Amino acid sequence: METEKVVPEAEELPKTIVRRVVKDKLHNCSPDTDISVHKDALLAFCESARIFIHYLSATANDICKESKRQTINAEDVLKAIEEIDFTEFVDPLRDSLDEFRQKNAGKRAGTSKSKEEKKKQKVEGEASKKSCGKTEKDKKNEE
């Protein structure tokens, strides 16, 4: 009798996203045909991806521990990819990571400015409330 392993829900990959990725890749291979993915095939893709993620994260964790650190970083993951013999993916992943960092560097610069502006507005608002006399809190306490 075959026993079925129960995977915690937190470890399951979203089937709709996996289906979309698989269908997009299959469509790239043969754009003129509409390919459907059988439920069992989708389950196999999900389970394979979950196992791969576990293996990759365990390998990256080992690399991180060897460096006497507690937080896995992108370089640990890239080294782990090399270590598990997926070297052909390292350069494209490194390029994607660089592109991601460049996009986020611009976002962070904009975010930090807006945070500073919000902080300044809040301080100015509180200062104007105090200079006008009683604050809303003072008015409520009097009632």
Q: What is the pLDDT of residue 141?
A: 53
**Rounded-to-integer distance, Cα 90 and Cα 62, Å:** 18
**Residue 41, domain CATH:** 1.10.20.10
- Are 38 and 72 spatial neighbours (Cβ–Cβ below 8 Å)? no
Taking 50 as the pLDDT cut, the residues of the chain under it are 1, 131
**Rounded-to-integer distance, Cα 100 and Cα 107, Å:** 11
Q: How many domains does the chain fold into?
A: 1
In a domain, 132, yes or no: no
DSSP 12: P
In a domain, 133, yes or no: no
In a domain, 46, yes or no: yes
- Put simply, whether the predicted model's pTM sits higher than 0.75 gets the answer no
In a domain, 49, yes or no: yes
Q: What is the pLDDT of residue 51?
A: 96
Q: What is the pLDDT of residue 44?
A: 96
Full domain range(s) for residue 81 = 9-124
Q: What is the pLDDT of residue 10?
A: 76
Q: What is the pLDDT of residue 112?
A: 59
In a domain, 28, yes or no: yes
Q: What is the pLDDT of residue 8?
A: 73
Tell me which amino acid residue 58 is: A
CB-neighbour burial class of residue 60 (10 A; exposed 0-12, middle 13-18, buried 19+): buried
In a domain, 40, yes or no: yes
